Structure 1
Amino acid sequence: MKAFVATGGPELVRQAEVGEPVQRPDEALVKVDAYSVNRGEIFQLEQSAEGARPGKDIAGLVVQAAPDGSGPKVGQRVVGHPSSSGWAELVAVPVGSLALLPDSVTAVQAAALPLAGLTALRLLRTTGCVAGRRILLTGASGGVGHYATELAAAAGALVTAVSASSERGERLGALGAAAVVHEVEDARGTFDLVLESTGGKNLTSALSRLAPRGQLVWFGQASREPALLDFFDFFAGPVSATVRHFSYADVDEPDAADLETLVRLVAEDRLHPELGRTADWQQTAGVLADLRDRRIRGNAVLTIS
């Protein structure tokens, strides 16, 4: 079968012939119809050895059920979050990382959900109730940012979204952001909660915008610049503020339940994947380059014809 593998060089990936997946007892074999690529995966590919198999976000059709009899059956449409190897014609996915798709949710919509959607959903769950809270969200024009904006606004938060340009941030207002700014310094007032995903100077700037007893949650470093924090400045800043790190993978339960939640919200027209680019999977390398250079807002999805 065909799949994309890491090159170990600047082009990042190439298409190659690989062996078909060998299922474990609790894995279903899925024919992939669409998959999403994420900026974080680009950073991983830059460090990957030649032949590594990327791909965490897939949607498709079960062609062989799990040998242990669990999970989806043959012929059912699913969205999945494998640990790797999803950029391929076939992938074996643990049944705990699969959710069924209703007819109203397309494979392209579903493929954009797992990594970005799980991150946004769990990030907000980590912070507790957000109703009535003022939230500052950096890196808002990516896949996670669009989901986090819509979910938080729907829960009653007042979201100020930081996006580098008007073009990249144009959908955030429609998704419920109370304000969209281009720099952290342009945000007005102080915030009960800062969701920071860019690192570098933005983390320090965002920290200074916390209200007393506010919280900053750091969940990414898209700028790839180190964040330098002077704790003397921090102690002189907002009273009793906290800083914490978040990882979307730090959960005790399988992904299936949260994937089911995301799918349900899309089916009910309450969550809207921002599909900044949809293309045939032969264009994967070019889409990765555009995503790395911030020429795509939201999610990028590749389809296998």
Structure 2
Amino acid sequence: MRRLIPTGEAPRPVEFTDVPQPVPDADEALIKVEAFAPNRGETFLLERPAPGLLPGKDIAGLVVQAAADGSGPGVGTRVAGHPPQGGWAEYAAVPTHSLAVLPDGIDSARAAALPLAGITALRLLRTVGSLAGRRVLLTGASGGVGHYVTELAAAAGAALTVVTATPARAERLAELGAAEVVHEVVAARGPFDVVLDSTGGPELSAAVSKVRPGGLLVWFGQASRTPVTLDFFDLLGGPAGVTIRHFHYAGAPYGPDLATLVRLVEQGRLHPEIDRVADWSETADTLVDLRERRVRGKAVLTTGAAR
């Protein structure tokens, strides 16, 4: 079968190779991959790929071999999946606890856009707790996670201010429910009960100053790729008693949260923001565009295997 593997070269970060089809463990199903969606964080891993790195964590496709232990969906079932690695291939072995069954109304491209970004958004908002009536600030809102957080938080009753770079992206975020859109953190009109920061760098320091006394800042990414420097005396002169919490989405099982996302899409309550759908022969170029922030929301690559 064909698989994409890292090259370690920035202008063309992946290339095709022919490898044997994966052999699933007892609790894994073998999926014929129809579509996959790279994440910007994966583009960073490809700059200096670790030995044996097999990228690919967001897929959709068809079960062609059910799990030997009897768990999970049967042969012929359409699924979305979140494998630990190896999804940029014709076939992927996926733990059944990381699969969700797809209804006929959701195509593979939309399904592939859901796993990492959608699960991150769900778990991030679950960490924050009830949002009804609370003032929330979200940085880096035009990425894959940001669009999901915007729509989910607005639907949960948050008064949401989002930070994004361009007017076009601002317009879409407003359509998804953002109450206010600004182009830099310092322009946000605080104070906020909750700040969700995915940018890091100097933006995080600015974001802390927007939190109300006793409020919460959840730090869930560093898209700026710049380390954070916090000055004690700046914090001392800012809002009192702010809690800064680190967040990471990881922790199986992913299947139940993925099923929730699928249900919300089917009901028309969640809309994957897909900027590009292309054949997987264009993966290398798409990864470069994703790394350089030329993609709004998600990009999806298709293998041509869809029925």
- Could you give the per-residue CA deviations for residues 255-298 of structure 1, whole angstroms, max 9, x where no partner exists? 01100100000000000000011111100000001111111100
Match of 1:275 in 2: 274
Q: Conserved in 2, the CA contact under 8 Å of 1:169 and 1:180?
A: yes
Q: What letter corresponds to residue 276 of structure 1 in structure 2?
A: D
Q: What letter corresponds to residue 208 of structure 1 in structure 2?
A: S
Q: Which runs of 5+ in 2 are unaligned?
A: none
Q: What letter corresponds to residue 6 of structure 1 in structure 2?
A: P
Match of 1:99 in 2: 100
**Which aligned pairs between 1:65-80 and structure 2 lie closer than 5 A?**
65-80=66-81
State the aligned residue count: 303
- Distance in 2 (CA, whole Å) between partners of 1:170 and 1:20 is 44
Match of 2:89 in 1: 88
Q: Which runs of 5+ in 1 are unaligned?
A: none
Q: Secondary structure at the match of 1:173?
A: helix
The answer on 1:123 being equivalent to 2:110 is no
**Which aligned pairs between 1:10-49 and structure 2 lie closer than 5 A?**
10=10, 11-49=12-50
The answer on 1:140 being equivalent to 2:145 is no
Match of 2:4 in 1: 4
Match of 2:163 in 1: 162
**Which aligned pairs between 1:205-244 and structure 2 lie closer than 5 A?**
205-244=206-245
Match of 2:283 in 1: 284
- Distance in 2 (CA, whole Å) between partners of 1:170 and 1:278 is 21
Q: Conserved in 2, the CA contact under 8 Å of 1:6 and 1:49?
A: no
| Cα drift, residue 51 of structure 1 | 5.4
Q: What letter corresponds to residue 283 of structure 1 in structure 2?
A: E
Match of 1:181 in 2: 182
- Could you give the per-residue CA deviations for residues 184-209 of structure 1, whole angstroms, max 9, x where no partner exists? 01111311100000111100001101
Give the structure-1-normalised TM-score. Answer: 0.97
Match of 1:114 in 2: 115
- Distance in 2 (CA, whole Å) between partners of 1:172 and 1:183 is 15
Match of 2:292 in 1: 293
- Distance in 1 (CA, whole Å) between partners of 2:249 and 2:148 is 14
| Cα drift, residue 237 of structure 1 | 1.2
Match of 2:302 in 1: 303
Greater Cα shift, 230-239 or 28-37: 230-239
- Distance in 2 (CA, whole Å) between partners of 1:46 and 1:168 is 27
Q: Conserved in 2, the CA contact under 8 Å of 1:143 and 1:299?
A: yes
- Could you give the per-residue CA deviations for residues 25-49 of structure 1, whole angstroms, max 9, x where no partner exists? 0000000000001100001111214
- Root mean square deviation, CA, Å: 1.0
Q: Secondary structure at the match of 1:276?
A: strand
- Could you give the per-residue CA deviations for residues 75-95 of structure 1, whole angstroms, max 9, x where no partner exists? 000000001000000000000
Q: Conserved in 2, the CA contact under 8 Å of 1:114 and 1:259?
A: yes
Q: What letter corresponds to residue 288 of structure 1 in structure 2?
A: L
- Distance in 2 (CA, whole Å) between partners of 1:47 and 1:167 is 33
Q: Secondary structure at the match of 2:118?
A: helix
- Could you give the per-residue CA deviations for residues 83-127 of structure 1, whole angstroms, max 9, x where no partner exists? 100000000000000000001111111100000000000000001
- Distance in 1 (CA, whole Å) between partners of 2:170 and 2:14 is 29
| Cα drift, residue 167 of structure 1 | 2.3
| Cα drift, residue 154 of structure 1 | 0.1
Q: Conserved in 2, the CA contact under 8 Å of 1:6 and 1:50?
A: no
Q: Secondary structure at the match of 1:272?
A: coil
Q: Conserved in 2, the CA contact under 8 Å of 1:8 and 1:49?
A: no
- Distance in 2 (CA, whole Å) between partners of 1:235 and 1:117 is 35
- Distance in 1 (CA, whole Å) between partners of 2:82 and 2:161 is 30
Q: What letter corresponds to residue 259 of structure 1 in structure 2?
A: L
